[in-house]
Amino acid sequence: MTDNELIQQAIEASKKAYAPYSNFHVGAAVLTSSGKVFQGCNVENSSYGLCNCAERTALFSAVAAGEREFKKLFVYVDREEFTSPCGACRQVMIELAPDMEVYLVNNKKQTKKTTSRELMPWAFSAEDLA
Ligand code: THU
Protein backbone atom coordinates (compact mmCIF):
# COMPACT_ATOMS: atom_id res chain seq x y z
CA MET A 1 0.00 0.00 0.00
CA THR A 2 1.65 3.21 -1.18
CA ASP A 3 1.29 6.65 0.35
CA ASN A 4 -0.59 7.76 -2.78
CA GLU A 5 -3.08 4.93 -2.34
CA LEU A 6 -3.54 5.88 1.30
CA ILE A 7 -4.15 9.49 0.28
CA GLN A 8 -6.83 8.25 -2.12
CA GLN A 9 -8.42 6.21 0.67
CA ALA A 10 -8.52 9.27 2.93
CA ILE A 11 -10.09 11.36 0.14
CA GLU A 12 -12.67 8.63 -0.49
CA ALA A 13 -13.43 8.48 3.24
CA SER A 14 -14.02 12.25 3.40
CA LYS A 15 -16.86 11.81 0.90
CA LYS A 16 -18.68 9.63 3.45
CA ALA A 17 -18.56 12.29 6.18
CA TYR A 18 -21.83 12.93 7.98
CA ALA A 19 -21.36 16.61 8.74
CA PRO A 20 -24.67 18.46 8.26
CA TYR A 21 -23.86 20.96 11.05
CA SER A 22 -20.30 22.04 10.29
CA ASN A 23 -20.26 21.06 6.61
CA PHE A 24 -16.58 20.33 7.29
CA HIS A 25 -15.86 16.96 5.71
CA VAL A 26 -12.85 15.05 7.03
CA GLY A 27 -11.52 11.69 5.85
CA ALA A 28 -8.93 9.43 7.42
CA ALA A 29 -7.19 6.22 6.43
CA VAL A 30 -5.08 4.22 8.83
CA LEU A 31 -2.60 1.55 7.74
CA THR A 32 -2.10 -1.29 10.21
CA SER A 33 1.11 -3.27 10.70
CA SER A 34 -0.67 -6.24 9.14
CA GLY A 35 -1.13 -4.21 5.95
CA LYS A 36 -4.86 -3.51 6.22
CA VAL A 37 -6.42 -0.09 5.70
CA PHE A 38 -9.36 1.29 7.66
CA GLN A 39 -11.20 4.42 6.63
CA GLY A 40 -12.88 6.91 8.90
CA CYS A 41 -15.00 10.02 8.47
CA ASN A 42 -16.43 12.52 10.90
CA VAL A 43 -19.90 11.65 12.15
CA GLU A 44 -21.82 14.57 13.64
CA ASN A 45 -24.88 14.76 15.88
CA SER A 46 -27.53 17.39 16.63
CA SER A 47 -26.22 17.06 20.19
CA TYR A 48 -22.94 18.64 19.13
CA GLY A 49 -20.76 17.17 21.86
CA LEU A 50 -21.32 13.71 20.41
CA CYS A 51 -19.60 14.50 17.12
CA ASN A 52 -16.84 12.03 16.33
CA CYS A 53 -13.80 12.96 14.26
CA ALA A 54 -12.56 11.06 11.21
CA GLU A 55 -9.30 10.06 12.92
CA ARG A 56 -11.06 8.40 15.85
CA THR A 57 -13.60 6.71 13.57
CA ALA A 58 -10.74 5.12 11.60
CA LEU A 59 -8.77 4.02 14.66
CA PHE A 60 -11.83 2.69 16.52
CA SER A 61 -12.99 0.84 13.44
CA ALA A 62 -9.57 -0.83 13.15
CA VAL A 63 -9.56 -1.80 16.83
CA ALA A 64 -13.07 -3.21 16.47
CA ALA A 65 -11.75 -5.39 13.64
CA GLY A 66 -9.05 -6.76 15.95
CA GLU A 67 -6.12 -4.54 14.94
CA ARG A 68 -3.69 -3.25 17.58
CA GLU A 69 -0.65 -2.00 15.67
CA PHE A 70 -0.68 1.04 13.44
CA LYS A 71 1.88 2.42 11.03
CA LYS A 72 0.46 5.46 9.27
CA LEU A 73 -2.60 7.66 9.49
CA PHE A 74 -3.61 10.02 6.67
CA VAL A 75 -6.06 12.86 7.33
CA TYR A 76 -7.67 14.68 4.41
CA VAL A 77 -9.69 17.87 4.19
CA ASP A 78 -10.64 19.56 0.90
CA ARG A 79 -8.77 22.78 1.69
CA GLU A 80 -5.37 24.19 0.89
CA GLU A 81 -4.46 24.63 4.58
CA PHE A 82 -3.45 21.48 6.46
CA THR A 83 -6.01 20.47 9.09
CA SER A 84 -4.48 19.61 12.44
CA PRO A 85 -6.07 16.85 14.57
CA CYS A 86 -8.03 17.94 17.66
CA GLY A 87 -6.89 17.25 21.22
CA ALA A 88 -9.27 14.31 21.71
CA CYS A 89 -7.91 12.56 18.63
CA ARG A 90 -4.32 13.22 19.72
CA GLN A 91 -5.06 11.56 23.06
CA VAL A 92 -6.52 8.53 21.26
CA MET A 93 -3.51 8.38 18.90
CA ILE A 94 -1.02 8.39 21.77
CA GLU A 95 -3.00 5.64 23.56
CA LEU A 96 -3.44 3.29 20.62
CA ALA A 97 -0.60 4.21 18.30
CA PRO A 98 2.26 6.11 19.98
CA ASP A 99 4.74 5.24 17.22
CA MET A 100 2.44 6.04 14.31
CA GLU A 101 3.31 8.46 11.53
CA VAL A 102 0.57 11.00 10.85
CA TYR A 103 0.22 12.70 7.46
CA LEU A 104 -1.99 15.74 7.01
CA VAL A 105 -3.18 16.01 3.41
CA ASN A 106 -4.52 19.09 1.63
CA ASN A 107 -6.57 19.41 -1.55
CA LYS A 108 -3.44 19.58 -3.68
CA LYS A 109 -2.51 16.15 -2.31
CA GLN A 110 0.46 17.71 -0.55
CA THR A 111 1.35 16.16 2.79
CA LYS A 112 2.73 17.38 6.07
CA LYS A 113 4.28 14.59 8.10
CA THR A 114 4.18 14.39 11.87
CA THR A 115 3.84 11.66 14.51
CA SER A 116 1.55 10.81 17.41
CA ARG A 117 4.32 11.70 19.86
CA GLU A 118 5.01 15.03 18.19
CA LEU A 119 1.31 15.91 18.25
CA MET A 120 0.88 14.93 21.91
CA PRO A 121 3.98 15.63 24.00
CA TRP A 122 3.90 14.97 27.74
CA ALA A 123 0.62 13.07 27.41
CA PHE A 124 -1.44 11.55 30.17
CA SER A 125 -1.04 7.79 29.82
CA ALA A 126 -1.36 4.39 31.49
CA GLU A 127 1.92 5.12 33.33
CA ASP A 128 0.21 7.92 35.20
CA LEU A 129 -2.27 5.43 36.59
CA ALA A 130 0.42 3.08 37.94
N1 THU B 1 -12.97 17.11 12.66
C2 THU B 1 -12.38 15.94 12.30
O3 THU B 1 -13.06 14.97 11.92
N4 THU B 1 -11.03 15.85 12.37
C5 THU B 1 -10.20 16.89 12.66
O6 THU B 1 -8.99 16.72 12.65
C7 THU B 1 -10.77 18.19 12.99
C8 THU B 1 -12.24 18.24 13.18
C9 THU B 1 -14.43 17.23 12.53
C10 THU B 1 -15.22 17.31 13.78
C11 THU B 1 -16.47 18.02 13.31
O12 THU B 1 -17.35 17.06 12.75
C13 THU B 1 -15.97 18.93 12.19
O14 THU B 1 -14.73 18.40 11.80
C15 THU B 1 -15.80 20.38 12.59
O16 THU B 1 -15.08 20.50 13.76
Which residues share a beta bridge with 76? Answer: 27, 105
Count CB neighbours of 15 within 10 A.
11
Ligand 1 atom 2, closest CA: 53
- pLDDT value of position 127: 94
User: Residues with catalytic annotation?
Assistant: 55
Mean of per-residue pLDDT scores for the chain = 98
3-state secondary structure of 52: strand
- pLDDT value of position 61: 98
Ligand 1 atom 1, closest CA: 53
pLDDT tens profile 27-80: 999 999 999 999 999 999 999 999 999 999 999 999 999 999 999 999 999 999
Portion of the chain with pLDDT greater than 90, in percent? 100
43 CA from centroid of ligand 1 (Å): 9
